[in-house]
Amino acid sequence: MALSPLSLNIFLYLLLTFSLAKEISARSEPSSESLAQQEADRVKKLPGQPPVDFKQYAGYVTVNETRGRALFYWFFEATDKPHEKPVLLWLNGGPGCSSIGYGEAEELGPFFPQNGSEPRLKFNPYSWNKAANLLFVESPVGVGFSYTNTSSDLTELGDTMTAKDSYMFLINWFQRFPQFKSHEFFIAGESYAGHYVPQLSELIFEANKKASKEYYINFKGFMIGNAAMDDEADQTGMIDYAWDHAVISDRLYRDIKSKCNFSEQTGSDDCIRALMEYFQVYEIIDMYSLYTPTCIENSTDINITRTRRGPSIQGIAPHFFSKFDGWHRRPAGYDPCSSDYTSQYLNRADVQEALHANVTKVSYPWTRCSLRIRNWQDSPSSMLPTIKKLVAGGLRIWVYSGDTDGRVPVTSTRYALRKLGLPIVEDWTPWYSNRQVGGWTIGYKGLMFATIRGAGHEVPLFAPKQSLQLLLYDITLRGVSVTFSADKISEFLGIAKRESPSYPDWEEEIVDRLILSNSELYKLLTGKEEVQTTCQTSLTVP
């Protein structure tokens, strides 16, 4: 099912009737012990924070007692009716980059640190906690505020340990917040989280088969954006995209094509030379967002060169590129200096205290990408077999791509999806935002792919409204039949009634207003309004 005008429209009704359709299932009431833990993690107010109505929590969850490993989380209840909304975990990639530094602070969280002499947070009107209870975790240990008391752990890190610790985190987090255990649970992430998300999903999927009720996670699906999925497809796509977007010369393109074989684990010397030339381009333009400016302001960041680019981690996939600086360069956004504000903010002692962070007083500062992780032990060259298994397992799976990212470009994702080889259910269809084509979708059997036009690597940063729109669509699709009244909704929203609404304008107006006023809509729709139209949707999720 794509975000075609009609289906987007149906999605809105699904969203609107979310609270009608959902039974308030039997909830586990927190014990007094978990209530006390929650209260201890409650974030009352952060320096420079605007007032908000939702609750937030932050703190540590121990994931391995013998080694003393603990992951740091920051959790935001949904802005409206949190007890009826799903829980969504967001993960950034790297490996070694912080979900709080990227996801929370500049992409999809409620609070974005701002520039200035005083600490200041801006409320993000497109925060994803409009749609879900939103959980950010810094993973694995060594990233952000997450730590280990056994420093040798840092040399053992890799995909496997990351997934295991994240799973332990979830089990223990749900013990601390049992009132959310019955909620539908989703995972989303971008970039190298194209590894983390399917791997964690597989662990949950397998563990759930034998889990007792206490440890069962009500896991429904996942979403990955500009995601590393398959080394060969990712690397080939990256080079093809660079040539096609006038980033490299014909000569260099031919050189790379003739000298590199991306199905192999390492390149010949000639190949490496060609790739070095290729990466030089991205010293001067932003690989993660081809058409936005780079930060040239003087920076007070801890170590701007190193934080921006991250350290050189040995051993990560794609194996070819881990040697190059470009691999670790981090993107900038509309404000290309926003990463500096985030590290200034999170390194403040009063902020750390308010967040219950850094309680063990580690010896190094908070950085967006870890300076401590230098080795990465394991990283499969393709996630496609895992994704295929989870598709077969009936999970709801979305893949999306901002189409101006040069790092894991849309071309790479399309090559990877082609390799996956799922039958097409609904071919290339536009979806709309701001009355313009927001991108295209393609529905495969068991997997949905959406592009976001004009967005870079961090899609929610470049296209906040569009990505929230996609998220709402994703997590509210339940295959239920829904009753609704189109006229009533139009009337309530003050949108002129039209005999035959002209798509996409009409639905766009609804989206705009919906984001601002969905609590009022819920009220309206859960009242005693006459139902006038019945829409039997056939929105069984592919």
Q: Under rule CB under 6 A, which residues in 332-351 are in contact with ligand NAG?
A: 337
Dihedral class, residue 106 (left if φ above 0, else alpha if ψ from -120 to 50, else beta) = alpha
Query: Catalytic: which of 183, 195, 328, 457?
Result: 457
Among 249, 266, 268, 360, binds ligand NAG (CB under 6 A): 360
Token duo for residue 426:
């609904």
97 - beta bridge partners? 369
For the chain, first and last CA: distance in Å?
7
**Is 500 considered catalytic here?**
no
As a whole number of angstroms, the distance between CA 37 and CA 261 comes to 53
152 binds ligand NAG per the rule CB under 6 A: no
Among 303, 312, 502, 534, binds ligand NAG (CB under 6 A): 303
Nearer to ligand NAG, 266 or 533 (CB): 266
Dihedral class, residue 437 (left if φ above 0, else alpha if ψ from -120 to 50, else beta) = beta
60 - beta bridge partners? 72
469 binds ligand NAG per the rule CB under 6 A: no
**Is 356 considered catalytic here?**
no
Helix or strand holding residue 398 (H, E): strand 396-402
As a whole number of angstroms, the distance between CA 420 and CA 198 comes to 14
Among 44, 210, 361, 528, binds ligand NAG (CB under 6 A): 361
Write out the E strands in 403-519: 424-433, 436-444, 447-452, 482-484
305 binds ligand NAG per the rule CB under 6 A: yes
Nearer to ligand NAG, 93 or 310 (CB): 310
Among 179, 261, 377, 517, binds ligand NAG (CB under 6 A): 261
Among 82, 24, 29, which residue's Cα sits nearest to residue 54?
A: 82
Q: Which stretch binds ligand NAG (CB under 6 A): 219-227, 242-250, 298-306, 529-537?
A: 298-306
As a whole number of angstroms, the distance between CA 499 and CA 504 comes to 14
Q: Under rule CB under 6 A, which residues in 33-72 are in contact with ligand NAG?
A: 62, 64, 66-70
259 binds ligand NAG per the rule CB under 6 A: no
> What is the CB-side half-sphere exposure of residue 72 using CA atoms within 13 A?
21
CB of 57 vs ligand NAG, minimal distance in Å? 18
307 binds ligand NAG per the rule CB under 6 A: no
The CA-based diameter of the chain, rounded to the nearest angstrom, is: 72
CB of 139 vs ligand NAG, minimal distance in Å? 14
Query: Catalytic: which of 191, 343, 412, 485?
Result: 191
**Is 403 considered catalytic here?**
no
Token duo for residue 195:
């590894």
Nearer to ligand NAG, 309 or 513 (CB): 309
Which residues here bind ligand NAG, judged by CB under 6 A? 62, 64, 66-70, 115-117, 145, 149, 161, 261, 263-264, 297-298, 303, 305-306, 337, 352, 358, 360-362, 364-366
- Enumerate the active-site residues: 191, 405, 457
